[in-house]
């Protein structure tokens, strides 16, 4: 554990962390009352959060299927880079606008936000079914879809902090597994419906699935009044700039930037990567299913381990595993045959799933619970720029160079993220590195 007798922290975030660490034993009873850690309402809330993630982030992790389809059909006159801006803006708005949603959630709770975001999300899919021109896709998928997803996904993640503290890594992983399930199932659904019913009805099917998930989630998800911490009301700022005075938060934000750059780049470009590498349309669809199926396991199992041996520790282990596979296997051998491609994609999916589920929990260690929505939004406002850049940059690299070079580039970005997570953990230990510390 951290040395609780060391010098006082540098900033507000560090002060909160030190104060809470110093009183862990005395506050055990209070924490058990503040966080139910289970019960009907808590588990129903978790199920509702996972349902929200299925058609929102789930669609975004499967967006490569849609992007590859419109590259060949409606927008065949545009380059991969140009079309990449559509999906890039979608995910950018989803993450960046979490900065605005976080404080609203902190103040008003989840119910009205979920209703508004759900209506917008379903409407975006229905309108997407009618799109034929570039600006149509930008307005419906990128702008309306991005704003709506920002609302529902931020609420889905943030509301879990009202119910869980000790099990937070595990339940966040289960919640994020909902998006992996969506990313695994929706490409199969779209592959079938594209062939049988065409573009319009395929997107309407997605809209009906989303509607069913959101309606159930609105009834299942509920917030609760948290006990006061005695530290005064939270700041009204949508971004807590003082939080960036903390080295640990800055390093973590840069690491999450690299995560989103790599994960969304692979999710959006994987079908196109498979096409450029010479694989059939069958592999172009099913690589995404393999990626997201393994990501589902990667979001749940590491969360279970993280609550036992430390969130940062497990995050580092998952990053190292993925880096070895990307640099040592995927780059030199990924195009050799179908079996190799599926194997490296599966390991990448498992490892990157751990990054997604553990990064928000690591961010939660740096703030008070009632400010979690704001801090989550602050960290992911930085990460959002990674999603904005990755598809256009990756698409240009894929068209101008080779698929191996693109994977090698993503491996280099992962090295950058790994260094920043190491530095964040080091700062959390007050610059006294200890291998066995549960952090």
CA 238 remoteness from chain centre: 20
pLDDT score, position 13: 40
Q: Provide the 8-state DSSP code for 280.
A: -
What is the per-residue pLDDT for 2?
Answer: 41
Q: Taken in order 8, 13, 19, 25, is the CA torsion positive or negative?
A: negative
Give the distance, in angstroms, between the CA of residue 170 and the centroid of all CA atoms in the same chain: 15
Position 296 scores a pLDDT of 83
Look up residue 156 and give its two tokens.
């889905």
Residues 407, 330 contacting (CB under 8 angstroms): yes
Spatial separation of the C-alpha atoms in residues 10 and 400, rounded to whole Å: 47
Determine which helix (DSSP H) or strand (DSSP E) holds 390, and give its type and residue range: helix 372-400
Domain boundaries, the chain: 37-224, 242-438
Structural element, H or E, at residue 324: helix 311-325
**pLDDT score, position 10:** 41
Instruction: Tell me how far the alpha carbon of residue 294 is from its chain's centroid.
Output: 15
| Global pTM value | 0.77
Domain 242-438 CATH class label: mainly alpha
- Alpha carbon 393 to its chain's center: 20
The reported pLDDT for the residue numbered 303 is 74
Per-residue pLDDT, 227: 52
Spatial separation of the C-alpha atoms in residues 180 and 353, rounded to whole Å: 8
Identical fold, 37-224 and 242-438 = yes
Return the closest-CA partner of residue 381 out of 183, 102, 116, 61: 102
Say what the pLDDT of residue 420 is: 93
Q: What is the pLDDT along the chain (439 residues), one digit of tens a residue?
A: 344 343 344 444 444 344 443 344 444 444 445 767 778 888 999 999 999 999 998 898 888 888 888 988 899 888 888 888 998 899 889 888 877 787 788 777 888 899 999 999 999 999 999 999 999 999 999 999 999 999 999 899 888 878 887 777 778 778 888 888 898 899 889 988 998 999 999 999 999 999 999 999 999 988 776 554 444 444 444 566 676 777 888 898 899 999 989 988 887 888 888 888 888 777 777 888 898 889 888 877 887 788 788 889 999 999 999 999 999 999 888 888 888 999 999 999 999 888 887 887 888 777 776 666 667 667 878 888 888 888 888 888 888 888 889 999 999 999 999 999 999 889 888 888 888 888 7
Q: What is the pLDDT of residue 373?
A: 61
Q: What is the pLDDT of residue 235?
A: 43
Question: What fold does the segment set 37-224 form as a domain?
Answer: Growth Hormone; Chain: A; (1.20.1250)
Spatial separation of the C-alpha atoms in residues 217 and 326, rounded to whole Å: 37
Contact 425, 314 (CB under 8 A): no
Neighbours of 290 (CB within 10 A): 21
Q: How far apart are CA 215 and CA 310, in angstroms?
A: 35
């Amino acid at each position: 554990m951290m040395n609780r007798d060391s010098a006082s922290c540098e900033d507000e975030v560090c002060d909160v962390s030190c104060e809470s660490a110093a009183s862990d034993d005395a506050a055990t009873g209070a924490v058990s009352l503040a966080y139910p850690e289970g019960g009907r309402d808590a588990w129903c809330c978790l199920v509702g959060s996972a349902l929200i993630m299925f058609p929102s982030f789930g669609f975004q992790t499967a967006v490569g299927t849609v992007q590859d389809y419109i590259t060949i059909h409606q927008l065949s006159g545009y380059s991969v880079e140009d079309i990449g801006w559509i999906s890039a803006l979608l995910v950018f708005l989803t993450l960046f606008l979490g900065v605005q949603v976080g404080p609203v959630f902190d103040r008003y709770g989840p119910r009205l936000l979920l209703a508004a975001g759900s209506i917008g999300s379903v409407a975006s899919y229905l309108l997407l079914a009618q799109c034929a021109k570039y600006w149509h896709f930008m307005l419906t998928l990128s702008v309306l879809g991005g704003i709506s997803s920002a609302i529902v996904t931020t609420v889905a993640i943030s509301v879990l902090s009202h119910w869980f503290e000790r099990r937070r890594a595990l339940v966040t992983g289960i919640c994020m597994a909902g998006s992996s399930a969506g990313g695994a199932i929706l490409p199969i659904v779209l592959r079938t419906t594209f062939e049988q019913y065409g573009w319009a009805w395929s997107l309407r099917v997605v809209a009906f699935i989303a509607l069913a998930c959101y309606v159930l989630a609105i009834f299942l998800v509920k917030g609760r009044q948290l006990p006061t911490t005695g530290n005064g009301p939270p700041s009204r700022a949508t971004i807590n700039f003082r939080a960036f005075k903390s080295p640990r938060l800055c390093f973590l934000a840069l690491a999450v930037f690299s995560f989103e750059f790599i994960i969304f780049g692979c999710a959006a470009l994987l079908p196109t990567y498979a096409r450029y590498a010479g694989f059939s349309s069958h592999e172009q669809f099913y690589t995404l299913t393999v990626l997201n199926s393994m990501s589902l396991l990667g979001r749940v199992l590491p969360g279970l381990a993280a609550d036992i041996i430390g969130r940062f520790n497990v995050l580092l282990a998952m990053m190292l595993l993925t880096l070895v596979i990307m640099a040592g296997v995927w780059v030199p051998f990924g195009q050799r045959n179908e079996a190799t491609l599926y194997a490296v994609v599966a390991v990448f999916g498992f490892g990157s799933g751990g990054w997604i589920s553990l990064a928000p929990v690591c961010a939660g260690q740096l703030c008070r619970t009632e400010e979690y929505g704001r801090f989550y939004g602050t960290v992911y406002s930085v990460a959002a720029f990674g999603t904005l850049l990755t598809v256009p940059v990756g698409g240009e690299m894929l068209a101008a160079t080779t698929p191996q070079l693109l994977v090698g580039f993503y491996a280099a970005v992962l090295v950058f993220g790994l260094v920043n997570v190491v530095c964040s953990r080091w700062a959390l230990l007050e610059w006294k590195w200890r291998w066995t510390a549960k952090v």
